[in-house]
Amino acid sequence: MSASTSSVADRLSGRLSTRLVGIDVARCLALLGMMATHVLDPVDASGELTRIQEVAGGRSAALFAVLAGVSLALMTGRQTPVRGWVLGSRSMGLAARAVLIAALGLVLGSLGTGIAIILTYYGMLFLIGIPFLGLRVRWLWLLGVAWIVVGPLLSMGIRPLLPPRQFDSPEPSQLLEPGQLLAELLFTGYYPAVPWLAYLLIGMAIGRIDLRNRIVVGMLWSGGIIVSISATWLSGRLTRLPSVAEELLRSHPGMDIDSALTAMSHGLYGQTPIDGGWQWLLVVAPHSTTPFDLAQTIGSSMFVIGACQMIALRLPDRWRVGMAVLFGAGTMTLTLYSLHVVMMTAAVWPAETPGSYVVHVLVVLTIGALVTVWGRPGPLEWLVGRPAAWLRRLE
Protein backbone atom coordinates (compact mmCIF):
# COMPACT_ATOMS: atom_id res chain seq x y z
CA MET A 1 0.00 0.00 0.00
CA SER A 2 1.41 3.42 -0.97
CA ALA A 3 2.04 6.14 1.61
CA SER A 4 -0.74 8.34 0.17
CA THR A 5 -3.28 5.48 0.22
CA SER A 6 -2.28 4.61 3.77
CA SER A 7 -2.68 8.26 4.78
CA VAL A 8 -6.18 8.43 3.30
CA ALA A 9 -7.14 5.19 5.08
CA ASP A 10 -5.78 6.51 8.37
CA ARG A 11 -7.72 9.76 8.02
CA LEU A 12 -10.89 7.85 7.22
CA SER A 13 -10.36 5.52 10.16
CA GLY A 14 -9.92 8.47 12.50
CA ARG A 15 -12.98 10.25 11.18
CA LEU A 16 -15.12 7.13 11.38
CA SER A 17 -13.97 6.10 14.86
CA THR A 18 -16.91 7.94 16.49
CA ARG A 19 -19.45 7.04 13.81
CA LEU A 20 -21.85 4.10 13.98
CA VAL A 21 -20.94 2.61 10.62
CA GLY A 22 -23.52 -0.15 10.92
CA ILE A 23 -26.30 2.45 11.06
CA ASP A 24 -25.01 3.98 7.82
CA VAL A 25 -25.00 0.53 6.23
CA ALA A 26 -28.62 -0.02 7.33
CA ARG A 27 -29.60 3.35 5.83
CA CYS A 28 -27.93 2.35 2.56
CA LEU A 29 -29.82 -0.96 2.50
CA ALA A 30 -33.10 0.88 3.14
CA LEU A 31 -32.34 3.18 0.21
CA LEU A 32 -31.45 0.29 -2.11
CA GLY A 33 -34.59 -1.58 -1.06
CA MET A 34 -36.87 1.38 -1.74
CA MET A 35 -35.20 1.89 -5.12
CA ALA A 36 -35.82 -1.78 -5.94
CA THR A 37 -39.55 -1.46 -5.21
CA HIS A 38 -39.69 1.61 -7.48
CA VAL A 39 -37.76 0.23 -10.45
CA LEU A 40 -38.10 -3.55 -10.54
CA ASP A 41 -41.25 -5.40 -11.57
CA PRO A 42 -43.02 -6.58 -8.39
CA VAL A 43 -44.25 -9.82 -9.99
CA ASP A 44 -42.67 -12.42 -12.24
CA ALA A 45 -44.01 -13.90 -15.47
CA SER A 46 -46.35 -16.22 -13.55
CA GLY A 47 -47.87 -13.34 -11.57
CA GLU A 48 -46.14 -14.29 -8.31
CA LEU A 49 -44.29 -11.73 -6.20
CA THR A 50 -40.58 -11.66 -6.94
CA ARG A 51 -38.17 -12.55 -4.16
CA ILE A 52 -36.90 -8.96 -4.01
CA GLN A 53 -40.44 -7.62 -3.65
CA GLU A 54 -41.18 -10.16 -0.93
CA VAL A 55 -38.15 -8.96 1.03
CA ALA A 56 -38.19 -5.21 0.31
CA GLY A 57 -41.89 -4.50 -0.15
CA GLY A 58 -43.08 -2.53 2.88
CA ARG A 59 -39.95 -3.37 4.88
CA SER A 60 -37.61 -0.88 3.20
CA ALA A 61 -39.89 2.08 3.89
CA ALA A 62 -40.39 0.88 7.47
CA LEU A 63 -36.61 0.59 7.94
CA PHE A 64 -36.28 4.13 6.58
CA ALA A 65 -38.76 5.35 9.22
CA VAL A 66 -37.20 3.40 12.11
CA LEU A 67 -33.80 4.82 11.16
CA ALA A 68 -35.35 8.30 11.27
CA GLY A 69 -36.05 7.64 14.93
CA VAL A 70 -32.50 6.38 15.46
CA SER A 71 -31.22 9.62 13.91
CA LEU A 72 -33.39 11.74 16.22
CA ALA A 73 -31.97 9.96 19.26
CA LEU A 74 -28.37 10.28 18.04
CA MET A 75 -28.85 14.01 17.45
CA THR A 76 -30.30 14.60 20.92
CA GLY A 77 -27.87 12.97 23.33
CA ARG A 78 -27.74 9.29 22.34
CA GLN A 79 -28.08 7.28 25.60
CA THR A 80 -28.70 10.38 27.74
CA PRO A 81 -31.27 12.77 26.23
CA VAL A 82 -30.35 16.44 26.33
CA ARG A 83 -32.27 18.77 28.65
CA GLY A 84 -33.17 22.41 29.11
CA TRP A 85 -32.09 24.99 26.57
CA VAL A 86 -30.11 22.41 24.62
CA LEU A 87 -33.26 20.30 24.16
CA GLY A 88 -35.16 23.38 23.03
CA SER A 89 -32.42 24.31 20.59
CA ARG A 90 -32.22 20.82 19.11
CA SER A 91 -36.02 20.69 18.86
CA MET A 92 -36.14 23.95 16.91
CA GLY A 93 -33.37 22.73 14.63
CA LEU A 94 -35.21 19.46 13.99
CA ALA A 95 -38.47 21.33 13.32
CA ALA A 96 -36.72 23.43 10.68
CA ARG A 97 -35.15 20.28 9.22
CA ALA A 98 -38.60 18.64 9.09
CA VAL A 99 -40.16 21.58 7.24
CA LEU A 100 -37.36 21.63 4.66
CA ILE A 101 -37.58 17.87 4.09
CA ALA A 102 -41.36 18.10 3.72
CA ALA A 103 -41.01 20.95 1.22
CA LEU A 104 -38.52 18.91 -0.80
CA GLY A 105 -40.99 16.02 -0.78
CA LEU A 106 -43.71 18.28 -2.22
CA VAL A 107 -41.40 19.33 -5.04
CA LEU A 108 -40.46 15.73 -5.84
CA GLY A 109 -44.14 14.77 -5.72
CA SER A 110 -44.83 17.17 -8.58
CA LEU A 111 -42.45 15.38 -10.98
CA GLY A 112 -44.98 12.77 -12.04
CA THR A 113 -42.77 9.73 -11.49
CA GLY A 114 -45.56 7.50 -10.22
CA ILE A 115 -43.57 6.93 -7.02
CA ALA A 116 -45.24 7.44 -3.64
CA ILE A 117 -42.70 9.97 -2.32
CA ILE A 118 -42.00 9.43 1.37
CA LEU A 119 -40.26 12.72 2.23
CA THR A 120 -43.28 14.92 3.03
CA TYR A 121 -44.61 12.22 5.34
CA TYR A 122 -41.08 11.88 6.73
CA GLY A 123 -41.02 15.59 7.58
CA MET A 124 -44.38 15.32 9.33
CA LEU A 125 -43.11 12.29 11.24
CA PHE A 126 -40.14 14.34 12.46
CA LEU A 127 -42.50 17.08 13.67
CA ILE A 128 -44.77 14.80 15.67
CA GLY A 129 -41.73 13.03 17.13
CA ILE A 130 -40.26 16.21 18.65
CA PRO A 131 -42.33 16.06 21.90
CA PHE A 132 -40.73 12.68 22.68
CA LEU A 133 -37.09 13.79 22.35
CA GLY A 134 -36.56 14.15 26.10
CA LEU A 135 -37.74 10.64 26.97
CA ARG A 136 -35.39 7.95 28.17
CA VAL A 137 -35.11 4.55 26.57
CA ARG A 138 -37.57 2.69 28.84
CA TRP A 139 -40.42 5.10 28.09
CA LEU A 140 -39.66 5.08 24.39
CA TRP A 141 -39.87 1.28 24.26
CA LEU A 142 -43.13 1.27 26.24
CA LEU A 143 -44.76 4.00 24.15
CA GLY A 144 -43.50 2.47 20.91
CA VAL A 145 -44.94 -0.95 21.73
CA ALA A 146 -48.25 0.58 22.87
CA TRP A 147 -48.50 2.69 19.71
CA ILE A 148 -48.21 -0.43 17.53
CA VAL A 149 -51.77 -1.13 18.71
CA VAL A 150 -53.09 2.36 19.50
CA GLY A 151 -51.99 4.00 16.24
CA PRO A 152 -53.91 1.66 13.86
CA LEU A 153 -56.98 1.71 16.12
CA LEU A 154 -56.95 5.51 16.15
CA SER A 155 -56.53 5.58 12.39
CA MET A 156 -59.41 3.15 11.84
CA GLY A 157 -61.70 5.33 13.96
CA ILE A 158 -60.74 8.67 12.40
CA ARG A 159 -60.31 7.87 8.69
CA PRO A 160 -64.05 7.49 7.97
CA LEU A 161 -64.48 11.11 9.10
CA LEU A 162 -61.83 12.45 6.71
CA PRO A 163 -61.93 13.18 2.97
CA PRO A 164 -60.50 10.43 0.76
CA ARG A 165 -56.90 10.61 -0.43
CA GLN A 166 -56.37 12.58 -3.64
CA PHE A 167 -52.75 11.83 -4.53
CA ASP A 168 -50.24 9.03 -4.03
CA SER A 169 -47.66 11.74 -3.35
CA PRO A 170 -48.43 15.15 -1.81
CA GLU A 171 -47.52 17.98 -4.19
CA PRO A 172 -47.40 21.81 -4.01
CA SER A 173 -50.96 22.30 -5.31
CA GLN A 174 -52.24 20.65 -2.13
CA LEU A 175 -50.96 23.60 -0.09
CA LEU A 176 -54.13 25.35 -1.28
CA GLU A 177 -56.10 22.70 0.63
CA PRO A 178 -54.24 22.51 3.96
CA GLY A 179 -56.94 20.43 5.65
CA GLN A 180 -56.84 17.80 2.93
CA LEU A 181 -53.03 17.76 2.95
CA LEU A 182 -52.87 17.40 6.72
CA ALA A 183 -55.41 14.54 6.64
CA GLU A 184 -53.31 12.70 4.05
CA LEU A 185 -50.04 13.22 5.89
CA LEU A 186 -51.45 12.09 9.23
CA PHE A 187 -53.99 9.38 8.37
CA THR A 188 -55.08 8.69 4.79
CA GLY A 189 -51.83 8.85 2.80
CA TYR A 190 -49.44 6.15 1.69
CA TYR A 191 -47.16 6.58 4.73
CA PRO A 192 -49.58 7.91 7.40
CA ALA A 193 -47.61 9.66 10.13
CA VAL A 194 -49.89 8.98 13.11
CA PRO A 195 -49.72 5.15 13.03
CA TRP A 196 -46.16 5.37 11.68
CA LEU A 197 -45.19 7.12 14.92
CA ALA A 198 -44.63 3.57 16.21
CA TYR A 199 -41.65 3.26 13.85
CA LEU A 200 -40.21 6.56 15.05
CA LEU A 201 -40.60 5.76 18.76
CA ILE A 202 -39.00 2.33 18.41
CA GLY A 203 -36.21 3.89 16.34
CA MET A 204 -35.61 6.49 19.05
CA ALA A 205 -35.47 3.71 21.63
CA ILE A 206 -32.86 1.90 19.52
CA GLY A 207 -30.85 5.11 19.26
CA ARG A 208 -30.89 5.46 23.06
CA ILE A 209 -29.35 2.03 23.74
CA ASP A 210 -25.60 1.35 23.72
CA LEU A 211 -25.04 0.49 20.07
CA ARG A 212 -21.34 -0.18 20.71
CA ASN A 213 -22.08 -3.00 23.15
CA ARG A 214 -22.05 -6.35 21.34
CA ILE A 215 -24.37 -8.00 23.85
CA VAL A 216 -26.95 -5.21 23.50
CA VAL A 217 -26.68 -5.23 19.70
CA GLY A 218 -26.99 -9.03 19.67
CA MET A 219 -30.20 -8.77 21.69
CA LEU A 220 -31.46 -6.20 19.18
CA TRP A 221 -31.07 -8.33 16.06
CA SER A 222 -32.15 -11.59 17.69
CA GLY A 223 -35.16 -9.89 19.27
CA GLY A 224 -36.05 -8.49 15.86
CA ILE A 225 -36.15 -11.98 14.35
CA ILE A 226 -38.43 -13.22 17.13
CA VAL A 227 -40.83 -10.26 16.81
CA SER A 228 -41.00 -10.44 13.01
CA ILE A 229 -41.56 -14.20 12.79
CA SER A 230 -44.06 -14.20 15.66
CA ALA A 231 -46.14 -11.39 14.13
CA THR A 232 -46.23 -13.13 10.75
CA TRP A 233 -47.12 -16.53 12.23
CA LEU A 234 -49.82 -15.18 14.55
CA SER A 235 -51.39 -13.07 11.79
CA GLY A 236 -51.50 -16.12 9.53
CA ARG A 237 -53.31 -18.14 12.17
CA LEU A 238 -55.81 -15.42 13.08
CA THR A 239 -56.71 -14.38 9.54
CA ARG A 240 -57.67 -17.97 8.75
CA LEU A 241 -60.25 -18.12 11.52
CA PRO A 242 -63.71 -18.46 9.88
CA SER A 243 -65.13 -15.24 11.35
CA VAL A 244 -62.09 -13.25 10.27
CA ALA A 245 -61.78 -14.84 6.83
CA GLU A 246 -65.46 -14.08 6.11
CA GLU A 247 -64.88 -10.35 6.62
CA LEU A 248 -61.67 -10.26 4.60
CA LEU A 249 -63.25 -12.12 1.69
CA ARG A 250 -65.92 -9.44 1.28
CA SER A 251 -63.25 -7.45 -0.55
CA HIS A 252 -62.08 -10.51 -2.53
CA PRO A 253 -65.21 -12.23 -3.87
CA GLY A 254 -64.66 -15.58 -5.49
CA MET A 255 -61.39 -16.24 -3.66
CA ASP A 256 -60.50 -18.50 -0.79
CA ILE A 257 -58.64 -16.99 2.16
CA ASP A 258 -55.20 -18.15 1.00
CA SER A 259 -55.69 -16.53 -2.41
CA ALA A 260 -56.99 -13.36 -0.77
CA LEU A 261 -53.99 -13.13 1.56
CA THR A 262 -51.69 -13.67 -1.42
CA ALA A 263 -53.41 -10.79 -3.23
CA MET A 264 -53.01 -8.60 -0.15
CA SER A 265 -49.28 -9.38 -0.07
CA HIS A 266 -48.91 -7.05 -3.07
CA GLY A 267 -49.64 -4.13 -0.70
CA LEU A 268 -52.59 -2.09 0.58
CA TYR A 269 -51.46 1.48 -0.21
CA GLY A 270 -51.09 2.78 3.32
CA GLN A 271 -53.97 1.37 5.31
CA THR A 272 -56.84 -1.12 5.40
CA PRO A 273 -60.13 -0.49 3.54
CA ILE A 274 -62.06 2.39 5.06
CA ASP A 275 -65.25 0.31 5.22
CA GLY A 276 -63.53 -2.80 6.57
CA GLY A 277 -64.20 -4.29 9.98
CA TRP A 278 -61.82 -4.76 12.89
CA GLN A 279 -60.73 -8.07 11.39
CA TRP A 280 -58.54 -6.15 8.95
CA LEU A 281 -56.31 -5.18 11.87
CA LEU A 282 -55.10 -8.79 11.92
CA VAL A 283 -53.57 -8.61 8.42
CA VAL A 284 -49.80 -8.43 7.95
CA ALA A 285 -49.67 -7.25 4.30
CA PRO A 286 -47.13 -4.59 3.18
CA HIS A 287 -48.31 -1.00 3.74
CA SER A 288 -51.45 -2.16 5.55
CA THR A 289 -50.33 -0.29 8.72
CA THR A 290 -52.04 -2.79 11.00
CA PRO A 291 -50.60 -3.78 14.39
CA PHE A 292 -49.26 -7.00 12.86
CA ASP A 293 -47.76 -5.19 9.87
CA LEU A 294 -46.10 -2.64 12.17
CA ALA A 295 -44.77 -5.37 14.47
CA GLN A 296 -43.48 -7.50 11.61
CA THR A 297 -41.70 -4.60 9.86
CA ILE A 298 -40.35 -3.21 13.14
CA GLY A 299 -38.93 -6.65 13.88
CA SER A 300 -37.26 -6.86 10.47
CA SER A 301 -35.87 -3.34 10.96
CA MET A 302 -34.44 -4.29 14.35
CA PHE A 303 -32.78 -7.30 12.74
CA VAL A 304 -31.22 -5.30 9.90
CA ILE A 305 -29.97 -2.51 12.18
CA GLY A 306 -28.62 -4.95 14.76
CA ALA A 307 -26.99 -7.24 12.19
CA CYS A 308 -25.32 -4.36 10.34
CA GLN A 309 -24.01 -2.84 13.55
CA MET A 310 -22.79 -6.21 14.85
CA ILE A 311 -20.82 -6.81 11.65
CA ALA A 312 -19.31 -3.33 11.88
CA LEU A 313 -18.31 -3.88 15.51
CA ARG A 314 -16.60 -7.17 14.73
CA LEU A 315 -14.60 -5.98 11.73
CA PRO A 316 -10.98 -4.80 12.06
CA ASP A 317 -10.54 -1.04 11.54
CA ARG A 318 -9.33 -1.35 7.93
CA TRP A 319 -12.26 -3.54 6.95
CA ARG A 320 -14.69 -1.23 8.73
CA VAL A 321 -13.32 1.70 6.70
CA GLY A 322 -13.91 -0.30 3.51
CA MET A 323 -17.44 -1.09 4.66
CA ALA A 324 -18.07 2.61 5.36
CA VAL A 325 -16.90 3.61 1.89
CA LEU A 326 -18.79 0.84 0.06
CA PHE A 327 -22.04 1.74 1.83
CA GLY A 328 -21.27 5.47 2.04
CA ALA A 329 -24.60 6.19 0.37
CA GLY A 330 -26.09 5.65 3.83
CA THR A 331 -24.57 8.93 5.02
CA MET A 332 -26.49 10.95 2.41
CA THR A 333 -29.77 9.15 1.80
CA LEU A 334 -31.76 12.39 1.46
CA THR A 335 -29.62 13.57 -1.46
CA LEU A 336 -29.43 10.18 -3.13
CA TYR A 337 -33.12 9.35 -2.66
CA SER A 338 -33.95 12.69 -4.31
CA LEU A 339 -31.50 11.98 -7.13
CA HIS A 340 -33.08 8.56 -7.64
CA VAL A 341 -36.54 10.15 -7.92
CA VAL A 342 -35.25 12.66 -10.49
CA MET A 343 -33.66 9.79 -12.43
CA MET A 344 -37.09 8.13 -12.55
CA THR A 345 -38.52 10.99 -14.61
CA ALA A 346 -38.86 10.49 -18.36
CA ALA A 347 -36.50 13.38 -19.17
CA VAL A 348 -33.53 12.06 -17.17
CA TRP A 349 -31.27 9.09 -17.93
CA PRO A 350 -31.64 6.13 -17.65
CA ALA A 351 -34.83 4.98 -19.37
CA GLU A 352 -37.16 3.29 -16.89
CA THR A 353 -36.75 -0.47 -17.31
CA PRO A 354 -36.14 -3.23 -14.77
CA GLY A 355 -32.54 -3.35 -16.01
CA SER A 356 -32.04 0.30 -15.05
CA TYR A 357 -31.98 -0.70 -11.38
CA VAL A 358 -28.31 -1.63 -11.77
CA VAL A 359 -27.63 1.89 -13.05
CA HIS A 360 -29.43 3.47 -10.09
CA VAL A 361 -27.46 1.29 -7.67
CA LEU A 362 -24.10 2.05 -9.28
CA VAL A 363 -24.82 5.79 -9.34
CA VAL A 364 -25.82 6.06 -5.66
CA LEU A 365 -23.05 3.73 -4.40
CA THR A 366 -20.38 5.56 -6.42
CA ILE A 367 -21.48 9.00 -5.27
CA GLY A 368 -21.82 7.77 -1.69
CA ALA A 369 -18.32 6.29 -1.72
CA LEU A 370 -16.73 9.43 -3.19
CA VAL A 371 -18.47 11.73 -0.72
CA THR A 372 -17.47 9.49 2.20
CA VAL A 373 -13.81 9.60 1.15
CA TRP A 374 -14.10 13.37 0.63
CA GLY A 375 -15.42 13.73 4.17
CA ARG A 376 -18.27 16.15 3.49
CA PRO A 377 -22.05 15.80 3.97
CA GLY A 378 -24.35 15.41 0.99
CA PRO A 379 -25.61 18.74 -0.39
CA LEU A 380 -29.20 18.30 0.78
CA GLU A 381 -28.04 16.98 4.15
CA TRP A 382 -25.94 20.14 4.48
CA LEU A 383 -28.88 22.35 3.48
CA VAL A 384 -31.51 20.90 5.84
CA GLY A 385 -28.94 20.82 8.64
CA ARG A 386 -28.09 24.55 8.44
CA PRO A 387 -30.73 25.79 10.93
CA ALA A 388 -29.65 23.19 13.50
CA ALA A 389 -25.99 24.11 12.97
CA TRP A 390 -26.73 27.80 13.56
CA LEU A 391 -28.73 27.02 16.71
CA ARG A 392 -25.97 24.78 18.08
CA ARG A 393 -23.65 27.78 18.18
CA LEU A 394 -25.94 29.27 20.82
CA GLU A 395 -25.94 26.20 23.08
The pLDDT tens digits along the chain (395 residues) read 455 555 556 667 666 667 899 999 999 999 999 999 999 999 888 888 999 999 999 999 999 999 999 999 999 999 999 999 999 999 999 999 999 999 999 999 999 898 999 999 999 999 999 999 999 999 999 999 999 999 999 999 999 999 988 877 899 999 999 999 999 999 999 999 999 999 999 999 999 999 999 999 999 999 999 999 999 999 999 999 999 999 999 989 999 999 999 999 989 889 999 988 999 999 999 999 999 999 999 999 999 999 999 999 999 988 999 999 999 999 999 999 999 999 999 889 888 888 899 999 999 999 999 999 998 899 999 999 999 999 988 87
**Total-model pTM:** 0.95
What are the domain boundaries of the chain? 6-390
Phi, psi values for residue 43, rounded to 5° = -125, 155
Does residue 350 have a cis peptide bond before it, meaning omega lies within 30 degrees of 0? yes
Q: What is the pLDDT of residue 395?
A: 73
pLDDT at residue 209, rounded to an integer: 97
pLDDT at 44: 86
All residues at 6 or more sequence positions from 308 whose CB lies less than 8 Å from its CB, including other chains: 22, 23, 25, 26, 29
Distances (CA, A) of 279 to 88, 164, 190, 244, 272: 42, 21, 21, 5, 10
**Exposure of 346 by Cβ count < 10 A (0-12 exposed, 13-18 middle, 19+ buried)?**
exposed
Ramachandran bin of 182, using left for φ above 0, alpha for ψ from -120 to 50, beta for the remaining angles? alpha
pLDDT at site 17? 66
At residue 2, the pLDDT reads: 52
Burial (CB < 10 A; 0-12, 13-18, 19+), residue 172, is: exposed
CB-based contact 170:106 (threshold 8 Å): yes
What was the pLDDT predicted at 6? 57
Instruction: Identify the pLDDT of residue 5.
Output: 54
